[in-house]
Amino acid sequence: MTPLKILLVDDESLARSRLRTLLADCQTPPAVVAAEAADGVEALRALRQQAFDAVLLDIHMPGTDGMALARTLAGLARPPAIVFVTAYSEHAVQAFELEALDYLTKPVRLARLQQALQKVERHTQSAFALQPENADNPEKAEDVLIIQDRGRTERLPLAEVLYFKAELKYITVRTLRRSYILDGSLNELEARHAGRFMRIHRNALIARRAVRALEKHFDPEEGEGWAVRLNGIDELLAVSRRQLGAVRDAIAG
């Protein structure tokens, strides 16, 4: 099994040393520290030099903090998975809004770190599976999702997907028949499948072909607003004010 390539980003050398020791003990999956950085500038320099499967990222650092660095990484063509490692639990909600794969609080336990690495491994496998498998294969790999479900691996055609919705640590993938859970990033899915799916909210992408109606909707948290109704399901999905015009254009078109 090829070890996961990890970039450690923390301004405290002792914190990086502890993570190195824990990562050396991880077996399922194995991981290797390919580079370290004490701040955002060093991290970006390392990312320009090589690709990483994941970045273990502290939040409070001098200069560019971890949140700002995560926003920058999201703009990369193939961003590494982000796993925040911090002493401050109050940033968890913001971290998942940035589509971090996991959020670990210091002191990090080995079992908890291994759980995070398992998410990284599934995320990496899914991203790899969405790349063209070879030039002679008539079935385009970008036309399917690889779903890992309770020890079972399933190829799910993108044509069956009605929406993707980010919910804390995972993405819900909804089809007519059922829902699946996927590790990954909405930003990555949007960039890869912009022709099929459109953003309607910071936490949701919908299949363009599935849009049935745009209607007034009252949300208990956000108040009066708009929502889309998709073909085949009763569930309404909230539309942000920012995306309202694009959804109207999609329906009109």
**Mean pLDDT on 231-246:** 91
Q: Check pLDDT > 70 for residue 38.
A: yes
Q: Residue 43 sits in which domain range?
A: 4-129
Q: Which residue has the higher pLDDT, 250 or 104?
A: 104
In a domain, 178, yes or no: yes
Q: Which residue, of 82, 108, 129, is where some domain finishes?
A: 129
pLDDT band at 36 (very low <50, low <70, confident <90, very high): very high
* Residue 153: per-residue pLDDT: 75
Q: Check pLDDT > 90 for residue 227.
A: yes
**Mean of per-residue pLDDT scores for the chain:** 84
Q: Check pLDDT > 50 for residue 132.
A: no
Q: Which of 90-94, 106-110, 118-122, 205-209 has the lowest mean pLDDT?
A: 90-94
**What CATH number has the domain bearing residue 208?**
2.40.50.1020
Q: Which residue has the higher pLDDT, 225 or 153?
A: 225
Same domain flag for 164 and 81: no
Same domain flag for 18 and 86: yes
Q: Which residue has the higher pLDDT, 104 or 122?
A: 104
**Mean pLDDT on 145-164:** 82
Burial tier of 14 (Cβ tally within 10 Å: 0-12, 13-18, 19+): exposed
Same domain flag for 102 and 184: no
Cα 184 to Cα 74, 170, 217, distances in angstroms: 12, 7, 29
Q: Check pLDDT > 50 for residue 140.
A: no
* Residue 91: per-residue pLDDT: 66
In a domain, 134, yes or no: no
**Mean pLDDT on 230-238:** 91
Q: Which residue, of 79, 94, 129, is where some domain finishes?
A: 129
The dihedral formed by the CA atoms of 191, 193, 197 and 203, expressed in degrees to the nearest 10:
-40
Q: What are phi and psi of 48, to 5 degrees?
A: -75, -25
Same domain flag for 230 and 182: yes
* Residue 141: per-residue pLDDT: 45
Q: Check pLDDT > 50 for residue 212.
A: yes
**Mean pLDDT on 107-123:** 90
Q: Check pLDDT > 60 for residue 249.
A: yes
In a domain, 25, yes or no: yes
The residues, ordered by sequence, that sit 6+ positions from 58 with a Cβ below 8 Å of its Cβ are 9, 10, 11, 12, 15, 66, 84, 85, 86
Total domain count, the chain: 2
* Residue 130: per-residue pLDDT: 45
